[in-house]
A and B are shown apart, each in its own frame.
Chain A
Amino acid sequence: TQLLEQSPQFLSIQEGENLTVYCNSSSVFSSLQWYRQEPGEGPVLLVTVVTGGEVKKLKRLTFQFGDARKDSSLHITAAQTGDTGLYLCAGAYNTDKLIFGTGTRLQVFP
């Protein structure tokens, strides 16, 4: 069974702080995605990374794919209350399915 471990599981910070969420596996991904899910809604895709070492930026969010394509990180600069939600990573292993991580629940307080 392929596993995607995310850390931390919970994160509670004040507005303006920086944070990093990690996604790790012992397997190599062909691609990796990050989703954000708000309460009562389905996940929404934020980004897809494909190449080892790739860095993508989405406003204050920076996504990095590990050189060996086994891990990824999401860094948020100057967090805002609107960043609150559940962050999920999901990896593709050259099949027609995604494996989702366990999730990181982020709470940003004003």
Chain B
Amino acid sequence: NAGVTQTPKFRVLKTGQSMTLLCAQDMNHEYMYWYRQDPGMGLRLIHYSVGEGTTAKGEVPDGYNVSRLKKQNFLLGLESAAPSQTSVYFCASSYWPGYYYEQYFGPGTRLTVT
């Protein structure tokens, strides 16, 4: 069991470039999430998915798009990167929110936009 994996681990982009971050989970979880983590801000939710083929906006969705074509994968896209998107991005998944909303996190992707 690999759990939650993220690709790539590091990336440097120039302003205006685009890229896609891939998240994969092998736990058959229904829910998947994308967060960004900035110093002093904790984790902020970008987008999330409650099942295959569904997506929803989180707290900070502007400048990002997502897709969940397969249950095990959740993609985060940046169409035109900006320096404000320099951050560490984490993907997470959970089986079912129920009463606990326990989430399992990937190792993160460190993105720098110059």
Residue pair B108, A40 in contact (C-beta under 8 Å): yes
Is B100 in contact with A98, judged by CB distance below 8 angstroms? no
CA distance A12 to B42 in the complex (A): 19
Chain A window 32-51, contacts with chain B (Cβ cutoff 8 Å), 1 for yes, 0 for no: 01000000111111001010
Interface residues on B, range: 20 to 34
- Residues of B contacting A43 with CB < 8 Å? 43, 90, 105
Q: Is the CB of B103 within 8 A of A48?
A: no
Q: Mark B86-113, 1 if CB is under 8 A from A, else 0.
A: 0000101000010111111111100000
Given A88-B42, A102-B41, A102-B42, do A41 and B108 touch, yes or no (CB 8 Å)?
A: yes
Contact present for B101 and A96 (CB under 8 Å): yes
Given A31-B99, A33-B101, A96-B31, are A9 and B40 neighbors across the interface (CB < 8 Å)? yes
Give the complex CA separation of A96 and B58 in angstroms. 11
- Report the minimal beta-carbon distance from B57 to chain A, rounded to whole angstroms: 11
Assess the B40–A102 pair: CB atoms within 8 A: yes
Contact of B108 among A42, A98, A102, A103 (CB under 8 A): A42
Give A60 to B95 CA distance when docked, in angstroms. 29
Of chain A, the residue at the smallest CB distance from B50 is A96
Q: Is the CB of A42 within 8 A of B102?
A: no
Which A56-110 residues sit within 8 Å CB-CB of chain B? 88, 90, 92, 96-98, 100-103
A3 to B78, CA, bound (A): 27
Q: How far is the CA of A29 from the CA of B102 in the complex (A)?
A: 14
Give the distance in Å from the alpha carbon of A33 to the alpha carbon of B42 in the complex.
14
Query: Are A41 and B107 in contact, with the CB atoms below 8 A?
Result: yes
Q: Does B82 contact A (CB under 8 A)?
A: no
Q: How far is the CA of A31 from the CA of B43 in the complex (A)?
A: 18
Give chain A residues whose Cβ lies under 8 Å from the Cβ of B99. 30-31, 50
- Shortest distance from the beta carbon of B62 to any chain A beta carbon, whole Å: 15
A-B interface, 9 closest residue pairs, ranked by CB to CB distance from nearest: A42-B105, A100-B43, A100-B42, A92-B101, A102-B42, A96-B97, A103-B42, A43-B105, A48-B100
